[in-house]
Amino acid sequence: MHVRPYHSARSNAPHVFHEDDDCPAGRTLAWFDKVEGTEGCEPCPQCVRTAATCPEHPVGATH
């Protein structure tokens, strides 16, 4: 499911943002480590793959 972009607040985490609620990497983030927005991060490769295979989940779509 496409969601608003979020990324990890931890400085040692990969510098990527997630836009798919089903992303395995995004799901590992604890709720208190999630920060809304992209903050100059690169898109998560898994989220990009999901968007490429599922037109209902376009990366970069606005809500």
Predicted pLDDT of residue 2: 85
- Where do the structural domains in the chain lie, given as residue ranges? 2-53
The answer to whether the beta carbons of residues 36 and 7 sit under 8 Å apart is no
Please, what's the b/e burial string for 27-48 (b: 16 or more CB within 10 A of its CB; e: otherwise)?
eebeeeeebeebeebebbebbb
Predicted pLDDT of residue 60: 52
Predicted pLDDT of residue 1: 80
pLDDT tens for the chain, 63 residues long, are 889 999 999 999 999 999 998 899 999 999 999 999 999 999 999 999 888 787 665 555 444
Predicted pLDDT of residue 24: 93
